[in-house]
Chains A and B, each alone.
Chain A
Amino acid sequence: MGWPKVLSCAAVLGGLAPMASATEDLGDADAGKAVFAQCKGCHEVGDGAENKIGPHLNGIFGRKAAGLDGFNYSKSLKRAGNSGLEWHADTLSAYIENPRAFASGTRMSFRGLKVAQDRANVIAYLRAFSDNPRDIPEADPTAKGTDRSVDPAILAIQGDPEYGAYLSSECTTCHQIEGADDGIPSIVYWPDEDFVVAMHAYKQKQRPHPVMQMIAGRLSNDEIAALAAYFNNPE
């Protein structure tokens, strides 16, 4: 299939001006092009883009995670895709903010874009290389969507590892404490913040797995912090 012609940034923004004024989430594609310089070492986008160290990013909006034939994705990202993860503005934003927190075993060794505006900008830039809502009504809107990053106050909670040890017994029915990674991913020795962000992504139904959405859905902020504290360094 042929990719839609690369639209000029002015055309993209111009076409959506009414929406842009209604939402401040829309990034600046020009600024995003500069942000994309950090991604170019591994990813190509635009005319003739091919898979390199990372997959090409043409048509990424609406694509299933790990959805390109011929690219060797991590088990973790394939699992997420098979469980229903698709790339849209909100999921992309969560992923590039902290790739490992979003897909534990991803091969994308990128520390993440911590500044929300940088993420919005680079997503607006990438948006031009996917089907455009101006041409195809059912295509993704360009707006970035809700920022679902975790409140710093939640990240600051000090978890109680003893409580975490008790709660962990619910996890170890499936996830092995020795860290085996067959069919079910390892959850031990994660940095606390990655663990908390991942669990809140399930709680908010942003990560797709139904069992994890159910388990995380009823864990309180304190309980998630307690689990993070325990699994960070289980005895």
Chain B
Amino acid sequence: MTINRRAFLGTAGAIAAGLSAPMVLAQGKPRVVVVGGGAGGATAARYIAKDSKGEIDVTLIEPSRTYYTCFFSNLYLGGFQELSDIAHSYGTLAADYGINVVHDWAVGVDRDAKTVSLAGGGSVPYDKLILSPGIDFVDGAVEGWDISAQNKMPHAYKAGSQTELLKAQVLAMPEGGIFAMVAPPNPYRCPPGPYERVSMVAHVLKANNPTAKIIVADPKPKFSKMSLFQEGWANHYEGTVDWIGEDFGGGNVSVNPDAMTVTIDGEVTKVDVCNVIPAMKAGRIAEMAGVTDGNWAPVNAADMSSKADPDIYVLGDASQQGDMPKSGFSANSQAKVCANAVRGALTGSKVFPAKFSNTCWSLIDADDGVKVGATYEATPEKIAKVDGFISQTGENADLRKATYEESLGWYAGITSDMFG
């Protein structure tokens, strides 16, 4: 046991579980280490701990004691959720599932020794390692912006203080001011996310600052649920949203955080808020572990194992798996397939065939919810789409309201599936 005990932080439950664990570890139970406590990692840790009934020792490494879900963080921006509504802790995973929750950064993986090193010192040994680190941003993706500019021009694409900052900036906009968004190129976390955000900002401005405008510079020619969002923007926020796609130079963008200007296809605009969502890549630990190829980590569809190392699995946004969108729902779905496979490999439990699914709900205005979803299967090449559906334009208000209410039910469901 090489772990530094001071790395065990957090709730009383986490401390109790952490301190009692080494006795058990010494008996040679198989060890699973999970890096990242979001929709992929927390779900995988919980399912392995729950279904192995104590046969597998599970350690979850996650720097944040309070996890803010990225999904529904736009609803916080729009005033439909409190920040506390999207905040979750790891107390139940530690106390009720016996997971060793370590609040620290994973800073390296030694694949020969099979250990993960921690920023706080020490390292954690594993038999199987599950990486679910989410996203990081590609350096230099937006000219003029780097991570040091995030307090002037927030990305708010990892939920928490960045989301709070962006909301405060929107509320502080002068009358008739301009909110700019630099949208990301594919692939990125939560395909409808930027456009739901535009809707939520427009909702806030409509109530507080009706002459304000929104400009979106987008490097893509089209985007997720485009016709639904554009219909919604026309119906609810007429004249507020100016979406500049690839065809009109939306990809030719630079920003100046000090001057608060955005230059789109040569035209300089002074703005009041600038939400820069840069191009994305797998969370850094995936690259440090040497399992990435380009920006993402390729995996085998049947069990989410890395194509570079059979004892490492990569879940969620960081993985390159095929047809599934990078979403919390997808990560949660992949985590269950992975948990089943990892448990089978370590304890000989029955391994069932992989099944994946995803649904993304988006809110356009109060009680105007839309959704898109699909089912997927594992093929030798990739996770391949089987069947799908999308909300239709012109749906009646009752159905849109029901869709929104359904999304609230889903949020309660998935967060209880992740955190217990």
Asked whether, in the complex, the Cβ of A182 is within 8 Å of the Cβ of B409, the reply is yes
Given the known interface contacts A163-B352, A167-B352, A211-B373, the answer about A173 and B414 at a Cβ–Cβ threshold of 8 Å is yes
Q: Within the complex, what minimum Cβ distance (angstroms) separates B420 from chain A?
A: 10
Interface residues in B300-345 (C-beta closer than 8 Å to A) = 329, 332-333, 336, 340
What residues on A are CB-neighbors of B350 within 8 Å?
162
Given the known interface contacts A84-B399, A170-B336, A214-B374, the answer about A176 and B387 at a Cβ–Cβ threshold of 8 Å is no
Asked whether, in the complex, the Cβ of B416 is within 8 Å of the Cβ of A176, the reply is yes
Which listed residue (B387, B413, B416) contacts A214, Cβ 8 A?
A: B387
What residues on B are CB-neighbors of A177 within 8 Å?
416
Asked whether, in the complex, the Cβ of B410 is within 8 Å of the Cβ of A217, the reply is no
What residues on B are CB-neighbors of A184 within 8 Å?
406, 409-410, 412-413
Asked whether, in the complex, the Cβ of A170 is within 8 Å of the Cβ of B333, the reply is yes
What residues on A are CB-neighbors of B406 within 8 Å?
183-184
Most chain B beta-carbon contacts within 10 A, residue among A167, A169, A213: A169
What residues on A are CB-neighbors of B362 within 8 Å?
none
Given the known interface contacts A162-B350, A182-B408, A215-B357, the answer about A173 and B413 at a Cβ–Cβ threshold of 8 Å is yes
Asked whether, in the complex, the Cβ of B388 is within 8 Å of the Cβ of A173, the reply is no
- Closest residue on chain B to residue A208 by CB atoms: B399
Q: How far is A180 from B398 in the complex, measured between Cα atoms in Å?
A: 22
Given the known interface contacts A163-B352, A170-B355, A173-B333, the answer about A210 and B389 at a Cβ–Cβ threshold of 8 Å is yes
What residues on A are CB-neighbors of B226 within 8 Å?
none
Q: Within the complex, what minimum Cβ distance (angstroms) separates B41 from chain A?
A: 15
Given the known interface contacts A83-B402, A169-B47, A218-B386, the answer about A174 and B333 at a Cβ–Cβ threshold of 8 Å is no
Q: Within the complex, what minimum Cβ distance (angstroms) separates B402 from chain A?
A: 4
Given the known interface contacts A170-B336, A211-B389, the answer about A83 and B375 at a Cβ–Cβ threshold of 8 Å is no
Given the known interface contacts A211-B359, A214-B387, the answer about A176 and B413 at a Cβ–Cβ threshold of 8 Å is yes
Interface residues in A173-192 (C-beta closer than 8 Å to B) = 173-178, 180, 182-184
Asked whether, in the complex, the Cβ of A175 is within 8 Å of the Cβ of B416, the reply is no
Interface residues in A23-42 (C-beta closer than 8 Å to B) = none
Asked whether, in the complex, the Cβ of B413 is within 8 Å of the Cβ of A172, the reply is yes
- Decide yes or no whether B401 CB sits under 8 A from chain A: yes
Asked whether, in the complex, the Cβ of A166 is within 8 Å of the Cβ of B340, the reply is yes
Asked whether, in the complex, the Cβ of A214 is within 8 Å of the Cβ of B417, the reply is no
- Decide yes or no whether A149 CB sits under 8 A from chain B: no
Report the interface size for chain A: residues with CB under 8 A from the other chain.
31
What residues on A are CB-neighbors of B332 within 8 Å?
173
Given the known interface contacts A167-B355, A215-B375, the answer about A174 and B413 at a Cβ–Cβ threshold of 8 Å is yes
Asked whether, in the complex, the Cβ of A82 is within 8 Å of the Cβ of B398, the reply is yes
Asked whether, in the complex, the Cβ of A82 is within 8 Å of the Cβ of B402, the reply is yes
Which listed residue (B51, B371, B405, B417) contacts A211, Cβ 8 A?
A: B371
Q: Binding site of B, secondary structure by majority: helix, strand, loop or mixed? A: helix
Asked whether, in the complex, the Cβ of A175 is within 8 Å of the Cβ of B413, the reply is yes
- Decide yes or no whether B69 CB sits under 8 A from chain A: no
What residues on B are CB-neighbors of A180 within 8 Å?
409, 412-413
- Closest residue on chain A to residue B406 by CB atoms: A183
Q: How far is A173 from B337 in the complex, measured between Cα atoms in Å?
A: 13
What residues on A are CB-neighbors of B386 within 8 Å?
218
What residues on A are CB-neighbors of B340 within 8 Å?
166
What residues on A are CB-neighbors of B414 within 8 Å?
173-174
What residues on A are CB-neighbors of B357 within 8 Å?
170, 173, 214-215
- Decide yes or no whether B407 CB sits under 8 A from chain A: yes
Q: Within the complex, what minimum Cβ distance (angstroms) separates B367 from chain A?
A: 12
What residues on A are CB-neighbors of B417 within 8 Å?
169, 172-173
What residues on B are CB-neighbors of A79 within 8 Å?
402
Asked whether, in the complex, the Cβ of A214 is within 8 Å of the Cβ of B412, the reply is no
Q: Within the complex, what minimum Cβ distance (angstroms) separates A67 from chain B?
A: 10
Q: How far is A230 from B387 in the complex, measured between Cα atoms in Å?
A: 25
What residues on B are CB-neighbors of A83 within 8 Å?
399, 402
Interface residues in A46-105 (C-beta closer than 8 Å to B) = 78-79, 81-84
Q: How far is A172 from B333 in the complex, measured between Cα atoms in Å?
A: 10
Q: How far is A179 from B375 in the complex, measured between Cα atoms in Å?
A: 24
Most chain A beta-carbon contacts within 10 A, residue among B373, B386, B406, B412: B406
Q: Within the complex, what minimum Cβ distance (angstroms) separates A159 from chain B?
A: 14
What residues on B are CB-neighbors of A215 within 8 Å?
357, 375
Asked whether, in the complex, the Cβ of B410 is within 8 Å of the Cβ of A173, the reply is yes
Q: How far is A170 from B413 in the complex, measured between Cα atoms in Å?
A: 11
Q: How far is A77 from B319 in the complex, measured between Cα atoms in Å?
A: 40
B202-232 vs A: 1/0 string, CB under 8 Å? 0000000000000000000000000000000
Q: How far is A182 from B415 in the complex, measured between Cα atoms in Å?
A: 14
Asked whether, in the complex, the Cβ of B333 is within 8 Å of the Cβ of A183, the reply is no
Q: How far is A182 from B411 in the complex, measured between Cα atoms in Å?
A: 10
- Closest residue on chain B to residue A67 by CB atoms: B398
A133-164 vs B: 1/0 string, CB under 8 Å? 00000000000000000000000000000110
What residues on A are CB-neighbors of B355 within 8 Å?
167, 170, 218
Name A residues whose Cβ lies closer than 8 Å to a Cβ of B.
78-79, 81-84, 162-163, 165-167, 169-170, 172-178, 180, 182-184, 210-211, 213-215, 217-218
Query: What would 20 A/B residue contacts be, using CB atoms closer than 8 Å?
Result: A79-B402, A82-B399, A82-B401, A162-B350, A166-B340, A169-B417, A170-B336, A172-B417, A173-B332, A174-B409, A174-B410, A175-B413, A183-B406, A183-B408, A183-B409, A184-B409, A211-B373, A214-B374, A215-B357, A215-B375
Question: Considering the complex of A and B, which 4 residue pairs feature the smallest CB-CB distances, nearest first?
Answer: A183-B409, A184-B409, A169-B336, A82-B402
